[in-house]
Amino acid sequence: MGRRFDIKHVPGFLPVTILCLVVLYAPLLVVTIYSLNDSNSITNWEGVSLRWYADVFTGPEAEKFKLAAWNSFTIAIIAATVSTSIATLAATAMVRGGRFRLRTVSFGLISMPLMVPEIVTAVATLIFFNSIGFTRGYSSILLAHIAFCIPFAYMPIAARMQGIEDSYEQAALDLYATKRQAFTRILLPMMVPGIISGYLLAFIISLDDFIITNFVKGAGIETLPTAIFGSVKQGIKPNIMAISTMLLALSILMVTISYFVSKSDKKT
Amino acid sequence: MQVTDDRINAIDIRNAVKRYGDFTALKTISLSIRDNEFFTLLGPSGCGKTTLLRMIAGFEDVTEGEIFLFGDEIEKLPPNRRPINTVFQNYALFPMMTILDNVAFGLEMKGESKAAARKRAGEMLELVQLSQFSSRKPSQLSGGQQQRVALARALAPSPKVLLLDEPLSALDLKLRQAMRFELKELQRETGITFIFVTHDQEEALTMSDRIAVMSAGELQQLGDARDIYERPSNMFVADFIGETNLLEVEVDAVEAGRAQVHLGGGHQLSVDAVEGVGKGAKVHMSVRPERLYLSEGAEGPESLAGTVRANMFVGTDIQTLLDLDGGVQISVRSSNSERGNKRVFEPGQIAHINMEQGAARLLAD
Amino acid sequence: MAGGAASGGSARTDTYREARHWLLLPSWVVLIFLILIPVLMMLVYSFLTKEFRGGVIWEFSLDAYDQFFFNRGLFGDEPPSIEWTYITIFWRSIWQAGAATILSLVIGFPTAYFIATRPEKVRPMWVFLITIPYWVNLLIRTVSMKFVLRDQGPLNDFLLWTGLIDSPLHIVNTNFAVQLGLFYSYLPFMVLPIYASVERYNFALSEAASDLYAGKWVTLRRILLPAVKPGVIAGCILVFVPSLGSFLAPDLLGGAKNFMIGSLIEEQFKGNAGNWPFGAAASMILLSMVLIILIVFARQQARAEKGGA
């Protein structure tokens, strides 16, 4: 007897899925393994060691990477905080503001950073800062990051708010709460999973950004991606693989947190 | 304002209209709801009953007209300034708060101290027999328990009127039937006016002091359960409430409160006259199947002969379908009991259909 | 109006109607100043005269567009002929993005379908597995890809070890490496919309077709595929559009011979060429292409929705 007839089953799709996962994960796995290589060359394997991780913090390029990491993380924290706050307010207007003329326009504006190719945004932002005479540096990177992080923060927040029936706020209003109280005491606490997801996404997007940062950063300031790119241009070195592995682990950690936050919330 | 004054209605709706753009959801409704009344808005989905309820609560603007609460005009007030509370269809219990905090929320928002609010909330939970769950979250409760929490939460701030938006629809049948009595009991104990919205006629008929039947944004009939069931004022109400035979008749004469009518096949009948239906009118007549009975020979003057087409066993009743001359079809229900002991006719047999006194009712439209 | 529809809230949720403009104000300010106005400034810059070593002279000029499309000789005095250099770069970008899209579709569709037909409980876990790599830094992913594909890299080591090849394959600095890099960059964008539409698909339709004697592949092609077509098109656009303007994959994996639009633009601002109006014009042309694709797609979606309803 063959297997039970299942209309959904298509032979061959499972191997393709496995191939897909292999292609997605193999490079990351390989880099992680080679970051532990106790060798000056990236090609030969000479046993396991953490020397390149030590090199990142104490080696000749340590100062450069420390500064770049400081810039990257402070920019990501500030940009994610500001863009998440802006996105939360915008989502409230878009999802709880009824139908209005500026709604479509606003939606277009919010999703603009997603539709415009990143390199075009980068060029446009560079030109803008240049034409108003804004000195390029930390603050120009920060401003650009705040802008393009907004849609990434907005999407999970708006999705979450759409999933909350308005009868909760109405119940609060019905029980003598003001609209402000209904927002801060009821809607906002219910939004927390969406806001956490939005914040984490914005944080990762800011931390990962290379193209826009590369355009608007100006000379003399680096973030982790631009510093890594500069190094890679001279060839892949083992310390780059150690940094990459650390960033990779951080991204996966944050996405995993975001996943479990939304999952645990669905259960209640 | 004297709340005890009998002449003052709990809610007075005067010429209320609700439009959404071009669409008119409510067409000029005027309605008075008495103090201490269990009042039901009944109608199919889309009839405007929930819109009307939400206008009383303050969630919908009133396009035209006024709403009074014990004599005070309220239609311009936001919901948080109306002493009216709502039990929502999905209960809308705040998921991140405990049961006790949910029930205390309204009191706190009204400005009571946290301690006082919680004390009163505890009493309310006792009233609905849920004290042991006070520190749980809503998601840890069953549907029936959540429903009682929603009731306690809405009653805790002692509203002047309680609105209930299909509160039983999410419960299973057994629980729903049990909750009907609990709700009715709670209304009597608290003395608060309840306005209840439902599409379930059985719920409406069993619980309400008075019922407003609505359809297509209009009030169709207002009355107590008996009025609405036995004296439907139009086709819609007759058809919507319960099961009925709607027969086309033509009025031959009207005299001394009686109307002589004939059916399509020429059968003559004498029924109670109704205002607005005169000689020559072609109208419908509603006859409830359980007010008819079958016999071999004619019993009384209002009797029609028909051929049995089919019998259907419906548990409590047996439903018999008969064909009359002129393509008229009539359904008759007889009780499935030993005492009734009425003869069951087989398909193809001729039977006489007899009407109880007042079984047939002419409908104006 | 009554019952579920009104309390469901999807149709009219306007609790914060009065505050909506205030709530939108911060996002408007940020996005108008940092996205909309900059794009308009870029349009203006594309019509200005170039200054050597970057920047512009505020003088109207069509030079940037002229340079893009026409060749007037070294001194600009010959009769104009079509300039193929940049058109070729654009054409190559379209071709590369297209190839990456097809690669993503071939791998992504079966994957999306497979995930969508798993038991409901484990589906989020599968989706999560597919999306994790997307959240890893794009630069790191591209560098990893390059590391693996290198002539002395693990892939060649592995293939040499198995004896499938006896000299290393040269993959880096080829078109294929770029396609692979783009595929790797944007695969989740292909999988997610297809997954969503297959998940929504009512498999009773397939059962009905198979009940009427259709085979599995016929059912898949004639019943399921038309139903999930919007998801497939969305996925293709979501891969194609960012691929078109990508910079990292062609720069790191393609090398100088496999120049794409992104590198051309970057060179005008970061490199030695330093022709800002030309870079702005190339960006405008790229943006126009993307917007046309998105508008055509949006109109088709709207029409499909109308037809469906």
Report the residue of A6, A25, A116 to disrupt the C interface, i.e. the one with the largest count of C CBs within 10 Å. A116
Of residues A141 and B248, the one with the higher pLDDT is A141
Which positions in chain A touch B139 (Cβ < 8 Å)?
A: 268
Give the distance from residue A32's alpha carbon to the nearest chain C alpha carbon, in angstroms.
9
Name the phi and psi angles at C28, rounded to 5.
Answer: -60, -50
* Confidence at residue C9, expressed as pLDDT on a 0 to 100 scale: 34
Segment 6-35 of chain C within 8 Å of chain B by CB: 6-7
pLDDT at residue A218, as a whole number: 83
**pLDDT band, residue B339 (cuts 50/70/90):** low
pLDDT attached to residue B17: 92
Mutate to test the interface with A, among B50, B84, B89, B96 (most CBs of A within 10 A): B96
Name chain A contacts of B153, Cβ cutoff 8 Å.
Answer: 171, 175
Inspect the interface and report whether the beta carbons of A175 and B59 lie closer than 8 Å.
no
Question: What does chain A look like in DSSP terms, one character per residue?
Answer: --PPP-TT--TTHHHHHHHHHHHHHHHHHHHHHHHTB-SSSSSS---B--HHHHHHHHSTTHHHHHHHHHHHHHHHHHHHHHHHHHHHHHHHHHHHS-S-HHHHHHHHHHHHHHHS-HHHHHHHHHHHHHHTTPPPSHHHHHHHHHHHHHHHHHHHHHHHHHHS-THHHHHHHHTT--HHHIIIIIIHHHHHHHHHHHHHHHHHHHHH--HHHHHHS-TT---HHHHHHHHHHT---HHHHHHHHHHHHHHHHHHHHHHHHHHHHHH-
Contact map slice: A 54-83 vs C, CB within 8 A: none
**Which amino acid makes up residue A41?**
S
- Has residue B111 got a pLDDT over 70? yes
**Residue numbers in B near C7 (CB within 8 A):** 50, 88-90, 165
Give the lowest-confidence range in A148-162, A220-234, B291-305.
B291-305
**What is the model's pLDDT at position B7?**
63
Rounded Cα distance between A225 and C143, Å, is 11
* Residue among B51, B88, B90 minimizing CB distance to C2: B51
The kind and range of the H/E element at C81 are strand C81-82
What pLDDT score was predicted for residue C271? 62
pLDDT of residue A173: 93
Question: CB distance from B45 to chain C under 8 Å?
Answer: yes
- Report, as an integer, the average pLDDT of B288-307: 84
**What's the distance, CA A128 to chain centroid?**
24
pLDDT for the residue C309 = 41
What residues 150-169 of chain B have any CB closer than 8 A to a CB of chain C? 165-166, 169
Residue A57: the pLDDT is 87
- Residue B6: pLDDT over 60: no
- Are residues C237 and C297 in contact, defined by beta-carbon separation less than 8 angstroms? yes
- The CA–CA distances, whole Å, from A46 to A28, A42, C144, C146 equal 20, 10, 20, 21
pLDDT in tens, C112-131: 999 999 998 898 889 989 88
**Residue among B311, B354, B40 at smallest CA distance from B199:** B40
Residue from the list A97, A115, A146 with its beta carbon closest to the beta carbon of C14: A97
What are C12's two structure tokens? 């009219």
Residues in chain B: 365
pLDDT of residue A89: 96
Q: Average pLDDT, stretch A130-137?
A: 89
* Distance, CA of A239 to CA of A83 (rounded, Å): 33
Query: Which residue, chain included where needed, has tokens 């005269």?
Result: C49
* Chains sharing 3 or more CB pairs under 8 A with chain A: B, C
pLDDT at position A3 = 52
**Chain A partners within 8 Å of B94 (Cβ):** 168, 171-172, 186, 190
- The mean pLDDT of chain B is 88
Write out pLDDT tens, residues C161-207.
888 888 888 888 888 999 999 998 899 889 999 998 998 888 888 88
Instruction: Check C294 against A115: CB less than 8 A apart.
Output: yes
Question: Greatest CA separation found in chain B?
Answer: 77
Answer whether C48 touches A (CB < 8 Å): no
Give the mean model confidence (pLDDT) for residues A141-166: 92
Provide the pLDDT for residue B146: 92
Cβ pairs A/C, distance under 8 A: 290
Options 1.50.10.10, 3.40.50.10090, 1.10.3720.10, 1.10.10.10; CATH of C85-308? 1.10.3720.10
Q: Determine the Cα–Cα distance for residues B79 and B2; give it in Å rounded to an integer.
A: 23
Strands B292-295 and B303-313, by their bridges, are: unpaired
Residue B113 CB contacts under 8 Å (≥ 6 apart), including other chains: none
- Please tell me which of the candidates C1, C3, C4 has its beta carbon nearest to residue B25: C1
CB-CB under 8 Å, C35 with A124: yes
Task: Taking residues B42-67, report their average pLDDT.
Answer: 91
Residue A133, chain C, CB below 8 Å: the answer is: no
Q: Report the C-alpha gap between C116 and C111 in whole angstroms.
A: 9
Interface test with A, best of B74, B89, B109, B146 (most A CBs within 10 A): B109
Mutate to test the interface with C, among A14, A84, A107, A119 (most CBs of C within 10 A): A119
pLDDT for B335 equals: 81
The mean pLDDT value for A182-206 works out to: 92
- Yes or no, beta carbons of A118 and C242 under 8 Å apart: yes
Token pair of A25, please?
């994960």
Range with the poorest average pLDDT among B147-161, C152-166, C174-188: C152-166
**8 Å CB contact of B45 and C7:** no
Q: Is residue B157 within 8 Å of residue B111, measured between CB atoms?
A: no
Residue of B43, B54, B169 with shortest CB distance to C6: B54
Q: What is the rounded distance in angstroms from the CA atom of residue C209 to the CA atom of residue B227?
A: 53
CA distance, residue C3 to nearest chain B CA (Å): 6
Taking an 8 Å cut-off on Cβ atoms, the answer to whether B89 and C3 are in contact is yes
Higher pLDDT, A94 or A234: A94
Cβ within 8 Å of residue C283, ≥6 positions away: A119, A120, A123, A124, C42, C46, C265
Mean pLDDT, rounded, of chain A: 88
Q: How confident is the model at residue C277 (pLDDT cuts 50, 70, 90)?
A: very high
Of residues A179 and B265, the one with the higher pLDDT is A179
Pairing verdict, β B193-198 and B38-42: parallel
**What is the per-residue pLDDT for A268?**
45
Residue B90 in contact with partner chain A when CB distance is under 8 A: yes
3-state secondary structure of C190: helix
The predicted pLDDT at position A266 comes to 56
What are C257-270's pLDDT values in tens digits? 778 899 899 988 88
Whether the pLDDT of residue C5 is over 70: the answer is no
Can you give the pLDDT at residue B213? 94
Asked whether the beta carbons of residue A98 and residue C20 sit closer than 8 angstroms, the reply is: yes
Could you identify the residue written with the tokens 């119940």?
A171
3-class SS of residue C202:
coil
Instruction: Please state, in angstroms and rounded to a whole number, the distance separating the CA atoms of residues A208 and C103.
Output: 25
- The pLDDT, as a whole number, for residue C12 is 63
Sign of the C-alpha dihedral computed for residues B106, B111, B113 and B119 taken in this order: negative
- Say yes or no for a CB contact (<8 Å) between C1 and B166: no
Pull the structure tokens for residue A112: 């603009």
Share of chain A above pLDDT 90, in %: 51
Facing B165 at nearest CB: one of C1, C5, C7? C7
pLDDT > 90 fraction of chain B, expressed in percent and rounded: 44
Per the CB < 8 Å rule, is B105 touching A177?
Answer: yes
Three-state secondary-structure class, residue C130? helix
Residue A158, CA atoms < 13 Å, CB-side half-sphere? 18
Q: Which residue of C has its CA nearest to B47?
A: C2
Closest by CA to A256, choosing from C184, C129, C137, is: C129
Touching partners of B (3+ C-beta pairs < 8 Å): A, C
pLDDT of A253 over the 70 cut = yes
C chain contacts of residue B45, beta-carbon cutoff 8 Å: 2-5
pLDDT of C307 reads: 61
pLDDT digits 0-9 by tens, C63-93:
888 888 888 877 777 888 888 888 989 999 9
Class of the CATH-defined domain A53-264: mainly alpha
- Average predicted confidence (pLDDT) for chain C: 85
Asked if A124 is an interface residue toward chain C (Cβ–Cβ < 8 A), one would say yes
| Inter-chain CB proximity B88 and A190 less than 8 Å | no
C50 interfaces chain A, CB cutoff of 8 Å: no
Helix (H, G, I), strand (E, B) or coil at C292: helix
The CA distance from A113 to the nearest CA of chain C, in Å, is 7
Q: How confident is the model at residue B212 (pLDDT cuts 50, 70, 90)?
A: very high
With CA atoms as reference, the chain A residue closest to B138 would be A268
Q: Report whether pLDDT(A119) > 90.
A: yes
A165, A171, A189 ranked by CB distance to B96: nearest: A189
Q: Which of B237, B242, B239, B240 is nearest to B223 (CA)?
A: B237
Of A7-11, A131-135, B282-286, the poorest mean pLDDT is in A7-11
| HSE value, Cβ hemisphere, 13 Å, CA-based, for B242 | 21
pLDDT(B310) > 80: yes
For residue C1, is pLDDT > 50?
A: no
φ and ψ at residue B359, rounded to 5 degrees: -70, -35
Any chain A CB within 8 A of the CB of B105? yes
Contacts of A118 in chain C (CB under 8 A): 242, 245, 247
pLDDT-derived band of residue A185, with 50, 70 and 90 as boundaries? very high
DSSP state letters, C20-73: HHHHHHHHHHHHIIIIIHHHHHHHHHTTEEE-TTS-EEEEE--HHHHHHHEE--
Regarding predicted confidence, which is higher, C56 or B198? B198
Phi, psi for residue A30 in degrees, rounded to 5:
-60, -45
Residues 54-83 on B with a CB inside 8 Å of C are: 54
Contacts of residue B330, Cβ cutoff 8 Å, sequence gap at least 6: B245, B247, B287, B289, B292, B304, B306, B321, B322, B324, B353
Give me the residue from C35, C41, C143 closest to A131, CB to CB: C41
Whether residues A167 and B88 touch (CB distance < 8 A) is answered with yes
Cβ contact A118:C245 at 8 Å: yes
Q: Is B94 close to A171, i.e. CB distance below 8 A?
A: yes
Structure tokens at C268: 């005008």
Over residues B168-183, the mean pLDDT reads: 86
The two three-digit tokens of residue B241, written as one number: 């409430």
Q: Is the pLDDT of residue B5 over 70?
A: no
Q: What is the pLDDT of residue A256?
A: 86
Residue C272 has pLDDT above 90, yes or no: no
Nearest C-alpha of chain B: how many angstroms from A100? Answer: 13
Query: Using N-to-C axis directions, what is the helix angle for A138-163 and A101-115, rounded to 10°?
Result: 130
Residues of B whose CB is below 8 A from A96? none
B86 vs B66: CA distance, rounded Å: 20
User: Would you call B85 and A175 a contact, using CB atoms and an 8 Å cutoff?
Assistant: yes
Point out the residue among A97, A120, A125 whose CB comes nearest to the CB of C20: A97
Average pLDDT over residues A195-223: 91
